[in-house]
Amino acid sequence: MTTKLEDKHAGNGDLVGEGQPYLGEKYQANGKPVANGRGEISVKQEANGKCGVPRKSLNMYSWQEIQKHNQKADQWLVINRKVYDVTGWANKHPGGSRILNHFAGEDATDVFRAMHLDLDIVKLYLKPLLIGELAPEEPSQERNKSSQLVEDFRELRRTLEAMNMFKANPAFFFLHFVQVLILETLAWLIVWHFGSGWPVTIFISCLLTISQGQSSYLQHDLGHLSIFTKSKWNHLMQKLMMSHCKFGKMKIKYIDYEKQHLYFYMVGLPLLMPVYFNLESMKVMCLQRYWEDIAWVSSFYIRHFITFGPFYGIFGTILLIYLVKFLESPWVTYVTQMSHIPMRMSKEENRDWLSAQVLTTCNVEQSIFNDWFTGHLNFQIEHHLFPTMPRHNYHKVAPLVRSLCAKHGLQYVNKPMLEAFGDIVRALKKSAALWMDAYYET
């Protein structure tokens, strides 16, 4: 069903209540780039109503029509009942095209709201892509989704916003940053005072491992835009914290997948960060000539050469760096995977945002140690539901999320940490059996 209605929004930018960074690109109303310079109108001018944009008519669509546009070459999204054609713009999306393709033909209101920080700038993005809205008789989400569950979740978010749960506590993150500085300073003072013997080297490696692990959590907070109110400051500080490494991919074709859950701990885990992340990413940066990233990574090594080079020399300092990476890798890998790998994996089922996150992630029991050791990623359910929320508020939000899950019959998984670690082994063993079947028995 499609009918016409007059576009009442031209020039006022009052399209949605969600936010997204501005790229300054120029598009037609169908989301495709302007063909030539004639009649080009910047997105910012159009959204602010500072130029003479002709009034256009918009279609009203049914869900039946919208759900047909769910292919890579034909992608429509629904956000706050507005229909957007993002086909020609998907490759310019700051978060990548894959997530847009994943939600093509669906209501993306909740995931859109969850992922974006700046609620005003998004209007500059969306206005040129607007093609219509849901017909009045259509529900705000697909008919297979529970409208009551969706509305309850949105009401929960409004409640959390009113409670300032998305506002960061600067002192919390500053103290974590100070923790990193203290650990690195202490490591340097110890080697300066006691020398660079093996016992001292092993001890300071442990201190530096803790420092690097906590730095990983801080850069994770910055990557989720949960510290500063402006995206650019989060991104800048993230580069500062982690030297801005880009990660490449490798494919190993010949491997005994049936035993991967066993040798994963002896080889895979310790080498994940020093080999897969660091060395492989450096190769990609050099081959692709990512000069900015190379500069950031160089600053990381220069800092270590200045502080530890006088005691270990260049080669010894490099060994120290990769010893720390070797020790850090199992820690960070276990923490990041304990809430993901063991959970349900299946094909796309077009679930609402709350159900999708609760079914595919789990929590680990709270304690002071667990919170510190995991960087509060033991609250993975809350983290996935509200990615931009500062982690120091997760424990306040968790009871409300658990209550909402109980109301709608959703299982809220919260397990001990050792059980969560064991589930990684069991999940990998199951995955190994599937790979064995796929590679050798089919």
Q: Where are the domains of the chain?
A: 2-141, 170-337
The whole-number pLDDT of residue 341 equals: 73
Which of 127, 125, 107 is CA-nearest to residue 116? 125
CA-based torsion, 243, 246, 247, 249: positive or negative: negative
Q: How far is CA 238 from CA 233, 349, 378, 404, in A?
A: 8, 34, 21, 33
CATH number of 2-141: 3.10.120.10
The per-residue pLDDT for 366 is 95
C-alpha distances in angstroms, 411 versus 26, 366, 385, 397, 406?
45, 18, 15, 17, 7
Instruction: Give pLDDT, residue 21.
Output: 38
Residue 311 pLDDT: 95
Look at residue 275 in the predicted model and tell me its pLDDT: 53
The residues of the chain scoring below 50 in pLDDT are 4-54, 244-268, 270, 274
Beta partners for 71? 74
| pLDDT at residue 125, rounded to an integer | 82
Predicted confidence at residue 40, as pLDDT, reads 37
> So what's the pLDDT on residue 442?
53
DSSP 188-233: HHHHHHH-S-HHHHHHHHHHHHHHHHHHHHHHHHHHTT-SSSSHHH
